[in-house]
Amino acid sequence: MAKGMISFFVESQRQLEAIAATCPFAYRRIDTTKRAWEQYQRTVCAWLEIPMRIEQRAPSGDFAHYVGTYHPPAYFPPAFNHPFEVELTPDGLRLHMVFMRNFRLIEQDTDSFAIAGRSAQLEFVRDPQGQVQGAIYPFVPDQRFFCEKIM
């Protein structure tokens, strides 16, 4: 399955580049494999000739209790029924899905995080004792699928 997904993304990128080459606008390719996000932001801002704005937001608390693997419910569509992970990095929480990795999570409220670059939020659910027991799947608009924390 992983080989097929890699082929899909490679072919998608190839097609996007072919289409972009026919359009009357400039585009810039940036290799993001090193995950140097601040440097990529500087590059894009300089290319667009706009000032760089870095939002320095210190994490408000200990996010370690959100870290783990979450599994969608058994009845979830098979193509999307894959666990996702939340990781704590030096700059905060990151969300890793099977199809896309490294979404930056931006704290909005207690147990609610905006997903950078997406119009979605990841909401965590606690049990009566206050422990994180799961999360609401963030990428299905107008529906709520509880994903159990399994690790």
Rounded to an integer, what distance in angstroms lies between the CA atom of residue 3 and that of residue 111?
35
The structure tokens listed for 129 are 């004792």
Instruction: Judge whether 141 and 129 are in contact, CB under 8 Å.
Output: no
Cα separation, 132 vs 44, in Å, equals 37
Report yes or no on whether pTM surpasses 0.75.
Answer: no
pLDDT 10s digits, 36-65? 778 888 888 888 888 887 655 554 568 999
Looking at residue 124, its pLDDT comes to 96
Which neighbouring-strand residues pair with 125? Answer: 134
Domain 64-149, CATH: 2.40.128
Q: State the pLDDT at residue 60.
A: 58
| Mean pLDDT over the full length of the chain | 86
